[in-house]
Structure 1
Amino acid sequence: MSYLNLFSTRDDELAPKSWATVQNHEGYKVSRKRGTVRLCLDRPHRGNSLTFTMIKEITSLFKQLSMDDSVHRIIVTGRGSYFCTGMHLKEDLFISVAERCNALQELFSTIDTCPKTTMAVINGPAFGGGVGLATVCDVRIALSTAFFCLSEVKLGLCPATISKFLVREWGISFARMAMLTGRRVKSQLLYDAGIIHALAVDIDALEKVVEEFLDDLRLAARQAASLCKMMVREAVSGHNADIDKMAGEVFETMLAHGSEASHGIAQFKRGVKDIVWEDLVKDGRPTSP
């Protein structure tokens, strides 16, 4: 198993605590720190809105990262005053409505089913598709001044591509209210509802909270985290018979010889309770420190 690609470098090269830029595209930048990749939307003059090209490229990026065993976590954030204001309606006018819809659906589905732990670091207001971008991430951290707005209804539109994710994550009543009124929903309200997982008063505090979450997430085994996501996704699908069968298969697989669990249990018996899993991955398997 090779980790020598654009996103994968040796552990000693990833040791510095600062973020290293690995890609710089028009509209977004990609940086990395050890097992964490950060995607930063970089169109502050356009509210970090998404062009059709950006949507296609970011979807491809997530697919690549999903197959990279050296990547454990992916952060999505924005530069400037906004997190993301959704798809830019004044650009890419030559792209058909169907193509735009399909591209957005693929983006949100790809992030939603990504086996890596995803984190939305919401540095400012989110509108429309930007709300969806935050909602499909596993962990959501926001500035206390940020708000979320589904203003499509005021333009004669419906947030169709993100509605299923909103209903699942926000709940039926809350999501319906937000879609029908188009009002600005403050991050504090979403935090109180358990939709936002942490708040920060300013950018410096936001970065500190992110690092605290990353410290916790580094102790989560990559494959185990992926299985957790899969089981949650199956649980909310309503396929109860399938989830019972899947649970049995997962239990058997995760306790197999040479698995993460076998290593974790062995370390626990030795008195090692906190394993930084990304430090142990060599040649595609966990090894003792």
Structure 2
Amino acid sequence: MLPVSNHYELEQTESWLTVWLNEPQARNPLTAARVSDLLTLCAALQGSDLRGVVFRGRGGVFCAGGDLKAFQAVMQGKAGHADVVALSLQAADLFDAVSGLPQFTVMAVEGAAMAGGLGLACCGDMVLAEETARFALSEVRLGLTPAQIAPFVVARLGMRAARRLMLSGESVSGATAREIGLVDRLLAVGGMDAALSDLPRALAPAAPCALAAIKRQLSELPFQSRDEQRAVAAESFATALLSAEAREGIGAYLEKRKPLWAEG
């Protein structure tokens, strides 16, 4: 049973879950309460048999990032340095948790993905965006820094494009976001529902345990020496090859049938 919250809405279709950010009147900000509840949800998803998770925003807007009203309260002396550090680390926990989900994660961007919202998009395995979507790392224009999202933006875009967006704060179109590698598929306006409905079938052949293991390996690679990479890869491959999932997958291939996880 997944946790319910006033700060998001859940829709499940068979083995896929859509997580709706549900405060469109404020452009679906990452408030402290929303971040906390999303962390609880991500923890529950670690033990789930769901195959995919979609993050999407209500009201035709993905996510405007941090809660500027809360930031203003901080500037008015209602929080100290340690409080701000804790707030930033909570955001880091969320980006780590979303990036570390064992399911295939899709960011469905309609409207704006700004600041932390763009960072959240960079935590996904696939980013879909309508052609009218806008993206910006606007922190520098507010006197702030991208801080906790920087590693995820760099990992997705590379240093060159990430530097330009972070240092300029410029807003880019969906087409430009596609060119620089932020967006995987650019969709016509109104095409998001159809694109999302096709994904479960397209990704059904991916073995769930193997997918999760690949995601773990990729997340750890930048922090490992070459010797560590070799050792971890060998352990991962041995575990996979001797698993029931691999027996089923290789058997299905040799018998020219679908593996059990791809049926349905």
Deviations 1:260-287 (A, max 9, x none): 1110111112211x4361768xxxxxxx
The answer to whether the 8 A contact 1:218-1:276 is kept is no
| Mapping 1:77-116, distance limit 5 Å | 77-91=56-70, 93=73, 96-116=83-103
Partner of 1:277: 261
Partner of 1:133: 120
Segments of structure 2 that go 5 or more residues without pairing to the other structure are none
Give the fraction of aligned pairs with identical amino acids, expressed as a percent.
27
| Mapping 1:112-191, distance limit 5 Å | 112-191=99-178
Segments of structure 1 that go 5 or more residues without pairing to the other structure are 1-5, 8-21, 281-289
Partner of 2:203: 217
1:199 matches 2:182? no
1:41 matches 2:21? yes
TM-score, scaled to structure 2: 0.91
* Matched residue type, 1:37: L
Bigger proportion of residues as helix = 2
Partner of 1:32: 12
Deviations 1:29-53 (A, max 9, x none): 0111111111000111000112111
Partner of 1:261: 246
Q: What SS does the corresponding residue of 1:121 show, helix, strand or coil?
A: strand
Cα deviation for residue 213 of structure 1 reads 2.4
TM-score, scaled to structure 1: 0.83
Q: Which of residues 211, 219, 223 in structure 2 aligns to 1:237?
A: 223
Deviations 1:73-105 (A, max 9, x none): 111010113100012121484563122101101
RMSD: 1.9
**Equivalent residue pairs, number:** 256
The answer to whether the 8 A contact 2:51-2:208 is kept is yes
Moved over 4 A (4+): none
The answer to whether the 8 A contact 2:248-2:259 is kept is no
Distance (whole Å) between structure 2 residues aligned to residue 279 and residue 56 of structure 1: 36
* Matched residue type, 1:112: S
Distance (whole Å) between structure 2 residues aligned to residue 214 and residue 82 of structure 1: 23
Distance (whole Å) between structure 1 residues aligned to residue 261 and residue 111 of structure 2: 32
1:61 matches 2:49? no
